Structure 1
């Protein structure tokens, strides 16, 4: 029996719970076909879960980097008014660093990705970084929510699979007993 499938806010379909196996198994769709469909659905959910885990990992690495960059912009804003020079070590390569004197210019350069770097005023940079940080945090919350939802759906489909399989075993046993009588 086909039912309308609901979905979470980001479109991941909700798995149905099989209360009555008879509603899912029929002559037109025997138990082995239903089990195959359930296994296919579980595989799709697990594939989505792997993608969500990767997304979570990327976001968990990205958010602290953005926050560190915001802190650096704040530091530069703080030091902008003083005549005191700021010295820092910056990375040239994995194991190679150089000393640099940072002079207040009122601007910073930010890597945007794809080998693109743009110059921003401190205020523009902070606004952009704050916006990106908030977007990343929202995306992380959504990803964690989706992961929890997916785990629930996988569990539901595994229970459904077990119920249909056990029902099928029972039906075959009854059929054998009736055939032997």
Structure 2
């Protein structure tokens, strides 16, 4: 029990915060930020912020795709695990049973299944592998836990990206307002000297 807590603590400490997504810093004082030498032009700063916003949107789109894939994958893993567990419960019996199985999209067929100590699992990339029923249960349980953990991390990252996107949008609005104000002030001073 104590070892598990220690492992989780170490895993949390070693994990990159939010999968390496950079944090957007809120600009408290736009005047002091814009007075820095690297921020000589308001248009250049706006362009940098726009690039940062586009990066966040790109990351958001990728994470949304990953979330969609995981949300369809998890029920498939559960269904396969349930099937393997059913086969495990029938392992000691000599009686065969009839089952309907998916042959292709929207096409089912019937099969008579005899008790067996092995199952074949699709691993992906057109690869199927033979496992003992206990190994298959262990593998599927591990894969299910991993997929759920990954889905939770993806959701956490999506929430973080939404916050960073909002912060960047607010920063852009504040810099834009500062830039417009500076241009108006410059126009007033040039028109007042004529």
Flag whether TM exceeds 0.5 (same fold): yes
Q: Distance in 1 between matches of 2:22 and 2:30?
A: 20
Q: Which of 17, 26, 30 is the matching residue for 2:26?
A: 17
What TM-score results when the alignment is normalised by the length of structure 1?
Answer: 0.91
**What SS does structure 2 have at the residue aligned with 1:51?**
helix
Contact 1:86 1:102 in 2 (8 A): yes
Deviation at 1:86, TM superposition (A): 1.2
**What SS does structure 1 have at the residue aligned with 2:20?**
coil
Unaligned runs of 5+ in 1: 1-6
**Residue 62 of structure 1: aligned partner:** 73
- Where does structure 1 differ by over 3 angstroms across 4 or more consecutive aligned residues? none
Q: Which of 85, 89, 93 is the matching residue for 2:96?
A: 85
**Residue 3 of structure 1: aligned partner:** none
> How many residues align structurally?
175
Contact 1:8 1:14 in 2 (8 A): no
What do the CA deviations read for 1:101-139 (whole angstroms, capped 9, x no partner)?
A: 111111110001111111111110000001111111111
Q: Distance in 2 between matches of 1:139 and 1:78?
A: 30
What do the CA deviations read for 1:47-78 (whole angstroms, capped 9, x no partner)?
A: 00000000000000001110111110111111
Contact 1:15 1:157 in 2 (8 A): yes
